[in-house]
Chain A
């Protein structure tokens, strides 16, 4: 058995897993081989390549066992809170309670990919008039109807206002179908007017103080409805502790991202990094285990960096990736084309930035919520992308469109413009449907062209 980092197929993971077990691999209760998830319907795994480390195995098993955790939480009498859209803020509050588990039903948008359209979720959405002119988050509607992929939450909380229309419209349909939604407003973040009092947000943005106060008041409403649902008050100290726990996750991710994005060769593939970053949003329904999973990833990355090894070529082109992909395989394609990830903006960079701990907890959450890159102008988001791309030394940028998403019609053009103007980097825009096999040759060609362009820029 070799411990040299490499990307391997599921078949290879079968052999690798057996070897690891023989070598004494110890796993948490949700552990096991990856093959069993295919038997559960996660057939996309057959088309993916994975990192071969035990830490990556643990990450994948943690992700793919979330449904089991949610059902166990329901059996344990915990309150299940379905959070829609805000991507990272309300769960911090929810996990500050005891016996509350928060999750994102919109995460169902990956089910058509993971299960390769075998779920029937999109067909259900179609039957309800939510067709493929909507983004794949429409799978969530099907999941609520089928009740086959997550237990129905006890409470649904959705941010609205400066959000994508797809999710807002579908959440409204859920509300009308008998799944009452508690709405809270996230206003469009605007630049402060001259002489207007403003506040620095986590990350690089500033916002008018009045907007932060507004969001804080909105979040107070969320807090009240959570307290009513749970039947217990959320104290300031408990909320502060919740923020500290969330920041532990964010700190681990910050370390992981910095180490992976700046090392050569890259010590962890793009796909595992995407999954790891997603954990920041709601901790995959288990905050403590989330921390443990990330710690093992960081340890693996540190070990590889110390040894000067990684699963990718040392001279792989450093690519900054914008937007999450509906088909996880797209991340493999980038590496197949000779690229590597050296920075990301998957629509939730605000969930990666540390929440301020030197202000009142609700003030801190309001600032974090308002730092949502989607809440402001796409030009501001492009500034954030430029900032991170420069920090991590990107040589090229991929803007990945989400089919049907209301924000994707124009944002790629805008982000591309700003990136080219500021950083003079090549930019390519691609669109990735939930199962992109039929488009794979075209996607591969575009990514290869980008990589070649970036390589040629090295010699100029």
Chain B
């Protein structure tokens, strides 16, 4: 079964799975962009115009992939070392995604969205270098009108046609309904378990939710491909192992039991899994269960309750969360892209019975609060509800350099929340970032603790 990679919460994985394909939440490695930025030779000569950093890296990947006919690569033949990705203003997430799209192990296709301008351009870039097929899903920024919702629905239908060109097949209403129910049940169980488990366990758990499985460095699927087939019931639990590289450079072997609270459809892969490794490093269940409706700050858990907010976490970001735990912090609210903030609402059963695609549209389009929406009041409503409910005492604000959408909100968030906010920006190939960030995290937590 072919895998289809994506990196936006507005791409419903159950829609991909219902077409018989395998949805993969990508978490590309922004450090990959540094490989050539650091001066590694590029196959076929040096680049002329743009060519350090991500673009050079993509050329290397494109050459290796054998896409010799594309002349964009020839334009990257002689380096202008003064023109790095940072000079160009390239978001490291978009750059890393381009690199991932050209990877040997890239999914059969990528689904990007218009939620971010740089991703729009990344889509065109991948098209230009003749990488894996890319589908650009138009997700309207405005959300108040039925018209915008209808546009989103039509885009999902168009995505369905695209998936069929990859070998997928259009699901019957019954198949779609069953797939939606299965994914919804997993999410519901996860959220229910959220209230009765330690933060570290939740961190590991959410990583295993279909559609929120991060894959770092390579795009190898973590899930058992059959697990998402609309024709099959939940697969038996599998186990496996992966490895994550910590900030100290040591490899941490991660043993995971995939069978948690009914999330048995999630299989194992060979790739490093950030959340699992982070969870294991943090230690299991250091605190008493979090009671439903009770702020975790009232738990016996150690650690200052923090919220994580911002864009998607990329490979390598696990080191930051490990640093948070070691410095005495505890993430009780995951507002990053792909975290609990961006889970769709529970499926409306009546709508599901009447029109499963409509139910899907409403669960995703109507409810996910995100920074790009205009106006983005839903984001602040979500924060206004969950920050106090979770007893958050500080916010870790993770943004990728040149991500204007999140960056512009930082100042507003500080003023609005009244909470201490630590900005953790990420640049492409910033090798010294972790050490710098660890120091800042420690200082931040000392401040919050006082």
Contact A190/B407 with A185-B148, A406-B402, A416-B75 known, Cβ cut-off 8 Å: no
Proximity string of chain B (172-203) to chain A, C-beta cutoff 8 Å, 1 when within and 0 when not = 00000000000000000000000000000000
Asked if residues B50 and A379 are in contact (CB atoms below 8 Å), the reply is: no
- Least CB distance from A93 to B in Å reads 18
Contact A168/B90 with A416-B49, A417-B71 known, Cβ cut-off 8 Å: no
Q: Which of B66-104 contact A (CB under 8 A)?
A: 71-72, 75-76, 85, 87-91, 94
Contact A163/B117 with A185-B148, A214-B151, A417-B72 known, Cβ cut-off 8 Å: yes
A278 to B405, CA, bound (A): 27
A429 to B55, CA, bound (A): 15
A188 to B140, CA, bound (A): 9
Which B residues touch A166, using CB under 8 A? Answer: 404
Asked if residues A378 and B121 are in contact (CB atoms below 8 Å), the reply is: yes
Q: Which of B141-165 contact A (CB under 8 A)?
A: 141-142, 145, 147-148, 151, 154, 158, 161
- Least CB distance from B162 to A in Å reads 10
Asked if residues A160 and B374 are in contact (CB atoms below 8 Å), the reply is: yes
Proximity string of chain B (236-260) to chain A, C-beta cutoff 8 Å, 1 when within and 0 when not = 0000000000000000000000000
Residue among A130, A184, A210, A379 making CB contact with B408, cutoff 8 Å: A130
Asked if residues A429 and B49 are in contact (CB atoms below 8 Å), the reply is: yes
Q: Which of B205-231 contact A (CB under 8 A)?
A: none
- Least CB distance from A73 to B in Å reads 28
- Least CB distance from B438 to A in Å reads 23
Asked if residues A214 and B147 are in contact (CB atoms below 8 Å), the reply is: yes
Asked if residues B50 and A160 are in contact (CB atoms below 8 Å), the reply is: no
Which A residues touch B136, using CB under 8 A? Answer: 188, 190
Q: Which of B390-415 contact A (CB under 8 A)?
A: 401-405, 407-412
A96 to B411, CA, bound (A): 39
Which A residues touch B1, using CB under 8 A? Answer: none
A181 to B90, CA, bound (A): 28
- Least CB distance from B58 to A in Å reads 10
A183 to B403, CA, bound (A): 21
- Least CB distance from A320 to B in Å reads 17
Q: Across the two chains, which residue of chain B brings its CB closest to A403?
A: B89
A133 at the interface (CB under 8 A from B): yes
A155 at the interface (CB under 8 A from B): no
Contact A413/B161 with A161-B142, A187-B140, A404-B402 known, Cβ cut-off 8 Å: no
Asked if residues A185 and B89 are in contact (CB atoms below 8 Å), the reply is: no
Which B residues touch A165, using CB under 8 A? Answer: 116-118, 372, 403-405
A241 at the interface (CB under 8 A from B): no
- Least CB distance from B377 to A in Å reads 9
Proximity string of chain A (141-183) to chain B, C-beta cutoff 8 Å, 1 when within and 0 when not = 0000000000000000010111111101110110110000101
Which B residues touch A169, using CB under 8 A? Answer: 404-405, 407-409
- Least CB distance from B40 to A in Å reads 20
Q: Across the two chains, which residue of chain B brings its CB closest to A187?
A: B138
**How many B residues face the partner with a CB closer than 8 A?**
53
Contact A379/B161 with A165-B117, A172-B375, A417-B72 known, Cβ cut-off 8 Å: no
Asked if residues B407 and A409 are in contact (CB atoms below 8 Å), the reply is: no
A218 at the interface (CB under 8 A from B): yes
A416 to B72, CA, bound (A): 9
Which A residues touch B148, using CB under 8 A? Answer: 185
A64 at the interface (CB under 8 A from B): no
Which B residues touch A418, using CB under 8 A? Answer: 128
Which B residues touch A134, using CB under 8 A? Answer: 404, 407-408
Asked if residues B128 and A414 are in contact (CB atoms below 8 Å), the reply is: yes
Which B residues touch A409, using CB under 8 A? Answer: 85, 88-91, 94, 118, 121, 402
State which size class the interface on A falls in.
35 or more
A129 to B186, CA, bound (A): 39
Q: Which of A116-130 contact B (CB under 8 A)?
A: 128-130
A217 to B140, CA, bound (A): 14
Which B residues touch A66, using CB under 8 A? Answer: none
Proximity string of chain A (212-256) to chain B, C-beta cutoff 8 Å, 1 when within and 0 when not = 001001100100000000000000000000000000000000000
Chain B residues touching A, majority SS: helix
Residue among A158, A379, A407, A417 making CB contact with B117, cutoff 8 Å: A407
A420 at the interface (CB under 8 A from B): yes
B127 at the interface (CB under 8 A from A): yes
Asked if residues A379 and B75 are in contact (CB atoms below 8 Å), the reply is: no
Q: Across the two chains, which residue of chain B brings its CB closest to A128?
A: B411
Proximity string of chain B (352-372) to chain A, C-beta cutoff 8 Å, 1 when within and 0 when not = 000000000000000000001
Which A residues touch B404, using CB under 8 A? Answer: 133-134, 165-166, 168-169, 406
Residue among B72, B89, B372, B403 making CB contact with A413, cutoff 8 Å: B72
A162 to B151, CA, bound (A): 14
Instruction: Among B402, B404, B405, find the residue whose CB has the most chain A CB atoms closer than 10 A.
Output: B404
Asked if residues A168 and B372 are in contact (CB atoms below 8 Å), the reply is: yes
A313 to B76, CA, bound (A): 34
Which B residues touch A407, using CB under 8 A? Answer: 117, 121
B114 at the interface (CB under 8 A from A): yes
Q: Across the two chains, which residue of chain B brings its CB closest to A429?
A: B49
Asked if residues A173 and B147 are in contact (CB atoms below 8 Å), the reply is: no
Q: Across the two chains, which residue of chain A brings its CB closest to B89?
A: A409
A292 at the interface (CB under 8 A from B): no
Residue among B88, B127, B409, B412 making CB contact with A408, cutoff 8 Å: B88
Contact A379/B147 with A401-B88, A409-B90, A413-B75 known, Cβ cut-off 8 Å: no
B389 at the interface (CB under 8 A from A): no
Q: Across the two chains, which residue of chain A brings its CB closest to B114?
A: A188
Asked if residues B147 and A183 are in contact (CB atoms below 8 Å), the reply is: no
Q: Which of A400-429 contact B (CB under 8 A)?
A: 401, 403-414, 416-418, 420-421, 429
A217 to B402, CA, bound (A): 33
A214 to B89, CA, bound (A): 32
Contact A190/B411 with A165-B404, A172-B374 known, Cβ cut-off 8 Å: no
Contact A185/B140 with A404-B89, A410-B90 known, Cβ cut-off 8 Å: yes
Which A residues touch B140, using CB under 8 A? Answer: 161, 185, 187
Q: Which of A375-419 contact B (CB under 8 A)?
A: 377-379, 401, 403-414, 416-418
A193 at the interface (CB under 8 A from B): yes
- Least CB distance from A424 to B in Å reads 11
- Least CB distance from A380 to B in Å reads 9
- Least CB distance from A241 to B in Å reads 28
Residue among B49, B55, B402 making CB contact with A133, cutoff 8 Å: B402
Residue among A410, A411, A421 making CB contact with B71, cutoff 8 Å: A421
Contact A414/B125 with A404-B89, A409-B94 known, Cβ cut-off 8 Å: yes
B124 at the interface (CB under 8 A from A): yes
Q: Across the two chains, which residue of chain B brings its CB closest to A221?
A: B145
Q: Which of B12-68 contact A (CB under 8 A)?
A: 49-50, 55
B376 at the interface (CB under 8 A from A): yes
- Least CB distance from A399 to B in Å reads 10
A160 to B123, CA, bound (A): 19
A-to-B contact residues, CB < 8 Å: 128-130, 133-134, 158, 160-166, 168-170, 172-173, 175-176, 181, 183-185, 187-188, 190, 193, 210, 214, 217-218, 221, 377-379, 401, 403-414, 416-418, 420-421, 429, 431
The 6 A-B pairs with the shortest beta carbon distances in the complex, nearest first, are: A129-B411, A169-B408, A409-B90, A165-B404, A406-B117, A165-B117
**Known contacts A162-B114, A409-B121, then 20 further A-B pairs from the complex at CB < 8 Å, ordered by chain A residue:** A133-B407, A134-B408, A162-B138, A164-B117, A165-B403, A165-B404, A168-B372, A168-B374, A172-B409, A183-B141, A185-B142, A188-B114, A190-B136, A379-B128, A406-B89, A406-B121, A408-B89, A410-B88, A416-B49, A418-B128
B-to-A contact residues, CB < 8 Å: 49-50, 55, 71-72, 75-76, 85, 87-91, 94, 114, 116-118, 120-125, 127-128, 136, 138, 140-142, 145, 147-148, 151, 154, 158, 161, 372, 374-376, 401-405, 407-412
| A and B contact pairs by CB, cutoff 8 A, 21 listed | A129-B410, A130-B411, A161-B141, A162-B114, A165-B116, A165-B372, A172-B409, A173-B408, A175-B375, A181-B375, A184-B142, A185-B140, A187-B140, A214-B147, A377-B123, A379-B127, A409-B91, A413-B75, A414-B72, A429-B49, A429-B50
